[in-house]
């Protein structure tokens, strides 16, 4: 059950905005290969626990009034639960994913089929990218990650398809291999102070990328290594409510001070695959 926490009286007023997202139930979740530092196939996973934890996340979104669409899971694709990697959607245009690792390659066509069947204008990618895992919309600007999963060629593709500026950031820490593990977008539009708020982990970025973040977002929330290590930044915000990893206590306190309503959920079993709240959440912007 979601809860409302006490927020700072001095913080700007936050407003929840209507959202529609896509999720995939982890019926076939397991860790039987290793493509990131979080994955350890030698350690047994509990699919039932993963499903029950995912259900709490799903129910939380529904209680918050977020519209949730579902894509059917496919046996043999255990990482399909990480729906954010399945594409990037703005203005009803769905830019498909082209995965780096063979184990996940079939997910790209599966998600593109769903987009097409549900009325989206599907664009088939030419360059390697892992969808909203490495593309984050902040206002009218798209932040793009590269270094581990997505190629910079996909950044050029995205800029051309959506007609928006794409700012590229090199990721340098293998544990934060997607941009959405190192940056959390807190506001879909500028807040009442005219600011666009994000949170990030400085050590995840190259010196050039960090300088760019400091310049563009001087008031950003800086998240600790401890909170990032439980994928605390892999969170989802509607502009007021921010669903985060329940163990990211420092980040939770920072959000409350800024006027947000943090809601903690436990996705510890899905963390074994290297994903958290945001990884399970693909925004559908029509």
User: Strand, coil or helix: what is 135?
Assistant: strand
User: Is 6 contained in some domain?
Assistant: no
Q: What is the pLDDT of residue 45?
A: 94
Q: What is the pLDDT of residues 207-248, one digit of tens each?
A: 999 999 999 999 999 999 999 999 999 999 999 999 999 999
76, burial (CB in 10 Å: exposed 0-12, middle 13-18, buried 19+): exposed
Residue 85 banded pLDDT, cuts 50, 70, 90: very high
What's the mean per-residue pLDDT of the chain?
94
User: Is 182 contained in some domain?
Assistant: yes
User: What's the Rg (C-alpha) of the chain?
Assistant: 17
Q: What is the pTM of this model?
A: 0.94
User: Is 9 contained in some domain?
Assistant: no
Q: What is the pLDDT of residue 284?
A: 98
Q: Which residue is listed with tokens 């255990």?
A: 78
**Is the confidence at residue 184, as pLDDT, over 70?**
yes
Domain range enclosing 250? 20-283
User: Is 14 contained in some domain?
Assistant: no
User: Is 10 contained in some domain?
Assistant: no
Instruction: Report, as an integer, the average pLDDT of 35-55.
Output: 94
* Total tally of structural domains belonging to the chain: 1
Q: What is the pLDDT of residue 193?
A: 65
Active centre residues (catalytic): 178, 279
Q: What is the pLDDT of residue 1?
A: 45
User: Is 263 contained in some domain?
Assistant: yes
**The domain spanning residue 216 has which CATH number?**
3.75.10.10
User: Is 4 contained in some domain?
Assistant: no
- Residue 79 per-residue DSSP state: G
**Is the confidence at residue 3, as pLDDT, over 70?**
no
User: Is 94 contained in some domain?
Assistant: yes
Q: Is the Cα dihedral 101, 176, 219, 213 positive or negative?
A: negative
Instruction: Report, as an integer, the average pLDDT of 4-14.
Output: 68
- What distance in Å separates the CA atoms of residue 114 and residue 96, rounded to the nearest whole number? 11
């Amino acid at each position: 059950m979601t809860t409302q926490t006490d927020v700072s009286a001095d913080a700007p007023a936050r407003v929840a905005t209507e959202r529609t997202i896509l999720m995939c139930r982890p019926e076939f979740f397991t860790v039987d290969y290793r493509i990131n530092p979080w994955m350890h196939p030698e350690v047994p996973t509990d699919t039932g626990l993963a499903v029950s934890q995912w259900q709490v996340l799903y129910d939380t979104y529904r209680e918050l009034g977020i519209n949730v669409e579902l894509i059917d899971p496919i046996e043999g694709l255990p990482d399909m639960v990480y729906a954010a990697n399945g594409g990037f959607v703005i203005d009803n245009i769905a830019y498909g994913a082209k995965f780096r690792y063979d184990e996940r390659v079939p997910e790209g066509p599966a998600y593109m089929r769903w987009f097409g069947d549900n009325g989206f204008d599907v664009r088939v990618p030419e360059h390697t990218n892992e969808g909203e895992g490495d593309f984050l919309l902040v206002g009218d600007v798209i932040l793009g990650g590269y270094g581990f999963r997505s190629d910079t060629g996909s950044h050029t593709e995205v800029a051309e398809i959506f007609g928006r500026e794409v700012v590229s950031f090199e990721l340098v820490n293998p544990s934060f291999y997607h941009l959405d593990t190192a940056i959390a977008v807190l506001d879909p539009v500028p807040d009442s102070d005219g600011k666009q708020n994000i949170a990030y982990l400085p050590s995840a970025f190259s010196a050039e990328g960090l300088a760019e973040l400091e310049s563009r977002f001087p008031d950003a929330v800086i998240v600790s290594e401890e909170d990032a290590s439980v994928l605390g930044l892999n969170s989802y915000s509607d502009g007021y409510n921010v669903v985060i990893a329940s163990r990211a206590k420092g980040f939770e306190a920072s959000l409350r001070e800024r006027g947000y309503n943090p809601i903690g959920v436990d996705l510890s079993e899905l963390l074994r695959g290297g994903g958290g709240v945001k990884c399970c959440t693909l925004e559908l912007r029509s």
